[in-house]
Amino acid sequence: MKFKKNIDSLCVDNLKINALAAITKAKSGHPGIAIDAATILHTLFCYHLKYDPKHPLWVNRDRFILSSGHGSALLYAMLRMLGLISRSDLEKFRSYKSNTPGHPEYGLTPGIEASTGPLGQGIAMAVGMALAESQVNKRFPEFSHYTYVLCGDGDLQEGVAQEALSFAGTNKLNKLIVLYDSNDVQLDSFVKSVNLESPKEKYKAMGFKYILVNENSVKKINKAINKAKYSNIPVFIEIKTIIGEGTKKENSNLIHGQPLTNEEISDLKDILTFKKSDNFEYLDDVKNYYIKNIYAKNGVAYNLWNPSKKLMNFLNNELKINLNDINLNKNDSTRNTTGFVLNNLGNQYENIIAGSADLSSSTKIKGVNGVYAPNNRLGRNILYGVREFAMGAIANGIALHSNFRPIVSTFLTFSNYLIPAIRLAAQMRLKTLFIFSHDSVYAGQDGPTHQPIEQLASLRAMPNLTVLRPADENEVKGAIEYYFNKATNPVVIATTRQNIVSTNVTNKLKFEDGAYYIYHGKNPWTLIATGSELNTFYNIGKKLNISVISASNTNNLESLNYNINKAISFEAASTFGWAKYAKYNIGIDEFGISATEKDIIKHFNLDEISLQKKVEEIIKRN
């Protein structure tokens, strides 16, 4: 079949007009990137991306992440051309219950590798995918792919992107290729008004190979990507584009997020090769060209791929675990217990990757097989450095990649640095495990900056996130079994710095299902506690003959048969959120102090004698 000499221009223009039509119909969206990045997307998908549209979940496919998630209309236009969504889907862009929402959503639209929109995180998730690929490739050479990410100025101004790119450069993730849509304009201003950095000098210093494409053409972009594939370090390709090129608003921030009118699209078509009156049309010449260059080529690649049985076993291992036979110390800190169990599991299962933000000696969470590095791709102990946000987002990329179980850790108070990554993990329902140690004011002399108060309440408020705060070694077993065997969402496990007192009445199986009774008393009142505070309330409950509930896993707490109006909760943190479980709440609604654990307990009256008096006073008043 012969194709027109200007076939590339026709493909690019078809993409542009289809994307603009969707935006204009929705009266909402971002036409600037739809125009200037169309050439990038066409070049990548048509000539480089190993991606079989007939098998969109093929595990050996190249990954493409649209970090600039506001450019979703352009990606949807491409997915329509690949047959992954329909014309009708494109026409329903940003409408109620469509599978073409305003920003890409993982699990909703075929062909979307990650939920993006919060700028910078797409870059970090791409880094995670590249890391995961390097691990699998080292074990199984037949598994090999590139990870591409398209980003803009906004992505690169976010700290999470810089953290992640620094990590990628340090670890020489050579199959990571960053495509930078460099148009010198952002929403409120020209880029030079807020950022005077030199991308070339900056990213070379970070350990990237830098390539400048000074013309937004298929030929130049194609040449740059070909060169990037042979690099032994990650590659940063800066592609100079003109935002809104060809419109009256080109090279201005007005085109960033302001839909074009049908008349403006018609004016643009005067200088494009796409001339059809129907702006949603998929031209036959473009369709046939894509069938040849995308469908046929990648269909052959899919059919020729011959994975080993060992690789398929690795990819299909469900990691169902049983901790009945593991012996754990009593009265030990739950950080120690959790670290011991996970290290043991890491030695059994190659799918477990763990690491911390420079705190493994404190959180006790680290992977096995040595430190992951350019000369040790099999190392599963990830040194994320002091990059908490990127750590969370990179872990999400690892979770998205295939069959890894990424585990990351820092102090609970620093979970604030990871909240946006945890939020995306929850939205995508990823099996990422976040372990936050030093889970209360009992952390002691590091002071209020290191003592969590509001963090548990904040995390519990997030949809699709399970927050577990095990009280002792039995509940630690339950928390870890829950994550591996039952979780369908990300999980947080909060652990203690200080040694706890084992209650000997906790139950890992009951814990996995949620809150449960550890003591039944005849008094009509009920005591509810979590984590290290559970033993104190257990002792008080026995003395006063009051039932005690472990809410270390709050699931099902509301369904337990107790009178909320005669219930008292206790957690050494904010009381916010506990009112729906108990009418009376004991906690700490102020920041902590720098002191020893003993002095902190005395200062806040959290000793058993003081707490028993509070309980008796509440009951007496009522």
Q: What is the pLDDT of residues 385-439, one digit of tens each?
A: 999 999 999 999 999 999 999 999 999 999 999 999 999 999 999 999 999 999 9
More confident residue, 194 or 76: 76
Q: Identify the pLDDT of residue 264.
A: 96
- pTM assigned to the model: 0.97
Mean pLDDT of 100-125: 98
d(CA 348, CA 321): 10
Q: Can you say whether the dihedral through the CA atoms of 162, 168, 170, 172 is positive or negative?
A: negative
For the chain, give the number of residues. 622
Show me where the domains of the chain are located: 7-304, 316-494, 508-621
Rounded CA-CA distance 284/289 in Å is: 8
Q: What percent of the chain has pLDDT over 90?
A: 95
Q: What is the mean pLDDT of residues 341-363?
A: 97
What 8-state DSSP symbol labels residue 453?
S
- The stretches of 270-352 forming alpha helices (DSSP H) are 284-290, 297-304, 309-316, 334-348
- Class (C level, CATH) for 508-621: alpha beta
pLDDT over 60 at 466, yes or no: yes
Biggest distance spanned by C-alpha atoms of the chain: 91
State the average pLDDT over residues 373-385.
98
504 contacts: CB under 8 Å, gap ≥ 6: 330
pLDDT of 590-616, one tens digit each?
999 999 999 999 999 999 999 999 999
540 has a pLDDT exceeding 90: yes
Nearest one of 517, 505, 582 to 550, comparing CA atoms: 517
pLDDT at 481 exceeding the cut of 60: yes
Mean pLDDT, residues 571-586 taken together: 98
Which residue in 388, 475, 481, 533 is the catalytic one? 388
Could you give the dihedral angle defined by the CA atoms of residues 466, 470, 473 and 474, in that order, rounded to the nearest 10 degrees? -70
Same fold yes or no, 316-494 and 508-621: yes
Q: Chain-centre distance of CA 128, in angstroms?
A: 9
Q: What is the pLDDT of residue 444?
A: 84
Q: What is the pLDDT of residue 190?
A: 86
Average pLDDT on 124-128 reads 98
Mean pLDDT of the chain: 96
**Superfamily of domain covering 316-494:** Thiamin diphosphate (ThDP)-binding fold, Pyr/PP domains (3.40.50.970)
Distance CA 223, CA 118 (A): 30
Q: How far apart are CA 365 and CA 343, in angstroms?
A: 8
DSSP state letters, 600-613: HHHHTT-SHHHHHH
CATH number for the domain formed by residue range(s) 7-304: 3.40.50.970
- Kindly state the average pLDDT of the residues 576-601: 96
Query: Cβ–Cβ contacts within 10 Å for residue 524, how many?
Result: 12
Euclidean distance between CA atoms 384 and 406, whole angstroms: 12
Q: What is the CA radius of gyration of the chain?
A: 27
> Does residue 388 have an active-site annotation?
yes
Beta-carbon contacts of residue 297 (< 8 Å; ≥ 6 apart): none
pLDDT number for residue 1: 55
Residue 32 makes CB contacts below 8 A (sequence gap 6+) with 183, 185, 243, 244, 255, 256, 257
Q: How far apart are CA 85 and CA 81, in angstroms?
A: 8
What three-state secondary structure class fits 405? strand
The residue-averaged pLDDT of 333-347 equals 97
Rounded to an integer, the average pLDDT of 3-23 is 94
Are β-strands 546-550 and 516-519 bridged in parallel, bridged antiparallel, or unpaired? antiparallel
Give the mean model confidence (pLDDT) for residues 184-204: 91
Mean pLDDT of 485-508: 96
Let me know: does 315 contact 343? Beta carbons within 8 Å: no
Average pLDDT, stretch 14-36? Answer: 97
pLDDT for residue 195: 87
Answer whether residue 318 shows pLDDT above 60.
yes
223: closest CA among 234, 209, 237? 237
